[in-house]
């Protein structure tokens, strides 16, 4: 699996820091997916599937950046949908020597990893994997903001939009379509906490979120949002202790 992934990504400019960042992100998410699949007591088969999904979830990002020099889905294309196209319509998945009986799970999980919410479905196994990749992807995104320079923060002194704040008060993820300034977009990341599916993932997420908040220049703008989000995490952790 690793060899095929390496062969694919080497078609892109690995000297470009933006390409390299997605390459590194893919491996970190793969490791996180394996870690939490074990912690959640997935069976060995599902642990392996989780690793595959983690490694391949952002495979559409490489071509996205090559074509547009941007990772903005709204201005380019939906990278998850494009990843599914590469893997299943263009049949790249066949190179990975993965049993076809897992294709539907992998496709569903990758397609849904970046959507505002998971498509409704009765298949519990697909949901299990879709929830995990959404959690591990978010953990690493917040890690990036908190510890690395792969994602650069853009802040202004503008107040957070009222509709965005309402989402926080209701403990709902912020729809990116509500954002009107750079600070709103930062709040969308803080609101990831409300969309973490597995309680087991919250501790690590909280650690990175705290580091992320430390890096913010205009902390006074986000203070109430941060307090509300951390309170939500703490209460949820207490309820599941």
Residue 91, phi then psi, degrees to nearest 5: 65, 25
For residue 150, name the pLDDT band (cuts at 50, 70, 90). Answer: low
Helix, strand, coil % (nearest 5) of the chain?
A: 70, 0, 30
Torsion of CA 120, 72, 225, 129, to 10 degrees: 30
Distance CA 31, CA 54 (A): 8
Contact between 1 and 96 under an 8 Å Cβ cutoff? The reply is yes
- The one-character DSSP state at 95 is G
Average per-residue pLDDT for the chain = 94
pLDDT tens figures, 189-214 = 999 999 999 999 999 999 999 999 99
pLDDT tens figures, 120-135 = 999 999 999 999 999 9
For residue 153, name the pLDDT band (cuts at 50, 70, 90). Answer: confident
For residue 128, CA distances in Å to 85, 107, 123, 158, 193 come to 22, 13, 9, 39, 18
Supply the pTM of this predicted model: 0.94
CATH tag, 1-151: 1.10.3210.10
Contact between 194 and 172 under an 8 Å Cβ cutoff? The reply is yes
Domain ranges of the chain: 1-151, 153-241
For residue 144, name the pLDDT band (cuts at 50, 70, 90). Answer: very high
Q: Across residues 139-164, what is the average pLDDT?
A: 87
Sign of CA dihedral 222, 187, 149, 206: positive
């Amino acid at each position: 699996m690793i060899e095929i992934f390496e062969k694919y990504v080497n078609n892109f400019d690995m000297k470009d820091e933006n390409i390299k960042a997605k390459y590194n992100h893919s491996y970190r998410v793969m490791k996180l997916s394996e870690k939490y699949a074990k912690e959640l007591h997935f069976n060995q088969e599902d642990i392996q599937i989780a690793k595959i999904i983690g490694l391949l979830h952002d495979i559409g990002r490489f071509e996205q950046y090559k074509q547009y020099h941007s990772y903005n889905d709204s201005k380019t294309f939906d990278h998850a949908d494009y990843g599914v196209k590469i893997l299943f319509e263009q049949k790249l998945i066949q190179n990975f020597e993965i049993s076809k009986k897992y294709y539907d799970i992998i496709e569903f999980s990758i397609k849904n990893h970046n959507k505002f919410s998971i498509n409704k479905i009765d298949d519990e196994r697909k949901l299990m994997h879709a929830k995990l990749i959404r959690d591990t992807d978010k953990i690493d995104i917040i890690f990036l903001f908190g510890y690395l320079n792969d994602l650069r923060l853009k802040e202004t002194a503008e107040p957070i939009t009222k509709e965005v704040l309402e989402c926080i008060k209701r403990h709902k993820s912020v729809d990116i379509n509500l954002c009107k300034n750079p600070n709103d977009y930062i709040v969308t990341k803080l609101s990831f906490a409300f969309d973490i599916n597995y309680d087991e993932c919250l501790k690590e997420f909280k650690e990175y979120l705290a580091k992320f908040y430390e890096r913010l220049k205009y902390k006074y703008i986000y203070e109430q949002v941060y307090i509300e989000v951390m309170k939500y995490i703490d209460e949820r952790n207490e309820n599941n202790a």
